[in-house]
Structure 1
């Protein structure tokens, strides 16, 4: 089938607004088994309706979606990574696709992923003409899926008001009191906010959609999706033991959805819904400290975050203690590590027990090092003002 004819039959199929005709048209164009998913990994079309002893294909045919176990395998085989790094068609002959080779591609509309197409190469290599057909189909499907596929957003006033609040960073607390409607004030207190995100325009946004749809079915959790940002507003939180709360309410969500690469920033506990924007920012800031951990509590990094913000705004060395540069030079000259010892000691608020545990040294060794540090720098480590200034120095300058 020539290129011009392909465009014509596709145009006719979409004008008919008949899904069965559209599916038959795509089948006639490809002449190969294919499956099309939306960006939630829900099956839109799969032809033919038969099993091929292919783990991924057969699972999609049975469940009409990519189940969490398969999402994990897709991630493990780095299909998602390959699609993220390449806007073109990907040929796959490894992992799940080792027995039956396939070609896959993300379907994009206005630079955002709206779906995926996978074509099984059951008994032969794909020709150049077939690649061209698939490229044409991808362009067509980008328009089709953009109009027919959307995240399963709750159709209620509470969700839209919450989304409006979380998406707006300019609302003042005073204005927020007038903005919050009755349905929101009736939410069960207390509250905690969890936040996660993926890179903008990344295929990994599918994980946010899957997590959003999963959480939306749970009680006392209100998910709010804002482009590549996902907020979870936990309500009816009992007590202020956030670590226990995480074990009971957040970890099962991560385990059930198999979203191993998502990490969450966790706000402090709060009781007034009018303070929601403050604690939203706490969750966002905590997320920046998660590193390779599943979650991070704002209360554990509040001091680091405070000094990080100061560091960004203070570009001079007005409060830098010269003694620290002396200690730094001494370490360099004599290959010692007194600077690190002092940093740990100060950040542990002069707790000898905690410092020894972190450094894995005996208390006598620590006392010797501290005496040596005072000798080198002339700092008085019993002076509370000196300790305070050292604490600021380590968080701002080092």
Structure 2
């Protein structure tokens, strides 16, 4: 055993209480700067840098995460792919276009699962062989530390999830009990809150929850109290930091988050909804049901709910499922709509489609004619004939509301075929 190998044993055969301590020990052994990252390239340990630090390392330390420009450059050069595919350390030449000097790096792995990375700045003073043994020994130490940390975090996440689901399923009797349990879990519950559900195109596992949590907390407007997932639903309990913030601010925050997530294309948020504002956590189950109701209605009537974000945006639409259920149980159907169905069947006309489109477009004749690809005069003729057939005037508010509700509840599947989906229409 060489003196250098003996020094590795003396320096690293001890317990490390943090990855910062490990980074400092590597730095002392190699007389160079060291950064340790997790599998998402967040900085979890680093040695004190000196004046010769390159821009890539300085930016990483300041942001506590490797900049996207650096990650992109490393991916394009195939460096990250190489690190993740081999079991030994790799010397990396400088990449000036991304501000990265020469490095000695190793991927921290458990079997084939990536846990993180160790990067050592190479200014030409790293002794070949010795430096590799130091970082590879350090990777083993970091692996044990990260696996232990993951085990603790998994237990903590499970406890947090249990608390959240007790909230959402109405298991608490008082707000004081809720706040006591939250305090024990080091969860800071805001005075007022909303529950937001983001429906995604794929199931949300723990890794995706962690990434989406980072994206949510990166937005400075909102305070995230709790976050969990159920199948393809990401469920957040949050509030806005500013007491002067209003509903429009919350809407902007939600839209910005959705846009940011969808642009990355790792997960696509296909629908979302936000509950009303609550100040009692014993009513969290009500808030949760409100948000689920929004998502349910977005599937039932996608065109009519295309702009809905908040529960109170639904208006009378929130009652449509109950009316549908009532009609099924009572075997009731509108006699007025039956007249239109019979006329359409006998005359091969499109009066039901015309009326449904006209009412769904807020009685806007221009938009209705454009969507139906007919002349405005043709539309006026059809509307007059509909009034003659049904004996009802669309200018009477009672008749208008009754006919509209009947169409929404009895012609639901047809109306979704007649009208564009929310993806097809921006207004």
TM bucket by the smaller chain? 0.5 to 0.7
Give the Cα–Cα distance (whole angstroms) in 2 for the partners of residues 105 and 380 of structure 1.
80
The partner residue of 1:282 within 274, 287, 290 is 290
Distance 2:284 2:206 in 1: 27
- In the TM superposition, 1:58-207 aligns within 5 A as 58-61=58-61, 63=62, 65-66=64-65, 70=67, 73=69, 88-89=84-85, 116-117=116-117, 141-148=142-149, 165-168=163-166, 171-172=169-170, 175=173, 179-181=177-179, 191-196=193-198, 199-202=204-207, 205-207=210-212
Matched, 1:208 2:194: no
- The alignment partner of 2:206 has SS state of coil
Structure 1 residue 208 displacement after superposition: 1.1
Unaligned runs of 5+ in 2: 124-130, 183-188, 394-398, 417-427
After superposition, what is the alpha-carbon deviation per residue over 1:118-148, rounded to whole angstroms, capped at 9, x for unaligned?
A: 758989xxxxxx99x9999877644422434
The answer as to whether partners of 1:344 and 1:355 remain within 8 angstroms in 2 is no
2:421 match: none
CA–CA separation in structure 1 for the residues paired with 2:74 and 2:293: 29
C-alpha separation in 2, matches of 1:41 and 1:146: 16
Aligned to 1:126: none
Shift of 1:59: 0.5
Relative contact order (alpha carbons < 8 A, sep ≥ 6): 1 or 2 greater? 1
Instruction: Quote the Cα distance in structure 2 between the aligned partners of 1:50 and 1:351.
Output: 69
Correspondent of 2:357 among 340, 344, 347: 344
Q: Is the 8 A contact 1:192 1:267 kept in 2?
A: yes
Larger-gyration structure (1/2):
2
Corresponding residue of 1:224 = 226
CA–CA separation in structure 2 for the residues paired with 1:139 and 1:294: 52
Cα deviation code 1:102-122 (max 9, x no counterpart): 999997889998x54275898
Question: Structure 2 CA distance, aligned partners of 1:304 and 1:140?
Answer: 58
Distance 1:171 1:196 in 2: 18
- Listed one character per residue, the Cα deviations across residues 67-112 of structure 1 (whole Å, up to 9, x for unaligned) are 8xx35x5798897xx9xx9995599999976987999999788999
Moved more, 386-395 or 258-267: 258-267
The separation in 1 between residues aligned to 2:174 and 2:50, in whole angstroms, is: 55
Q: Which residue is 2:44 aligned to?
A: 44
Contact 1:268 1:298 in 2 (8 A): yes
Measured in 2, the distance between the counterparts of 1:210 and 1:98 equals: 25
Contact 2:106 / 2:136 at 8 angstroms: preserved in 1?
Answer: no
The CA distance in 1 between the partners of 2:356 and 2:107, in whole Å, is 48
Match of 2:406 in 1: 389
Q: 1:29 and 1:166 mapped to 2: Cα distance?
A: 46
| Distance in 2, Cα, partners of 1:169 & 1:205 | 21
The TM-score, its normalising length taken from structure 1, stands at 0.52
**RMSD of aligned alpha carbons:** 7.0
Instruction: Number of aligned residue pairs: give it.
Output: 350
8 A contact 2:320–2:409 mirrored in 1: yes
Measured at CA, do residues 354 and 10 of structure 1 come closer, stay the same or move farther in structure 2, by a change above 3 Å?
A: farther
Q: Where does the alignment leave 5 or more consecutive residues of structure 1 unmatched? A: 124-129
Query: Partners of 1:102 and 1:308 in 2: how far apart?
Result: 61
Mapped to 2, the partners of 1:326 and 1:74 lie a distance apart of 67
- Which residue of 242, 246, 263 maps to 2:247? 242
DSSP 3-state at the match of 1:296: coil
CA distance in structure 2 between the partners assigned to 1:76 and 1:339 by the alignment = 55
Aligned 8 A contact 1:191 1:235 in 2: no
Q: 2:342 & 2:107 partners in 1: Cα distance?
A: 53
1:167 Cα deviation after fit: 2.7
Q: 1:101 to 1:212 in 2, by over 3 A?
A: same
Q: How many Å apart are 1:275 and its aligned residue?
A: 1.9
CA distance, structure 1, for counterparts of residue 239 and residue 381 of structure 2: 50
Q: 1:277 deviation in Å?
A: 2.0
Structure 1 337/77 Cα, relative in aligned 2: closer, same or farther at 3 Å? farther
Contact 2:217 2:223 in 1 (8 A): no
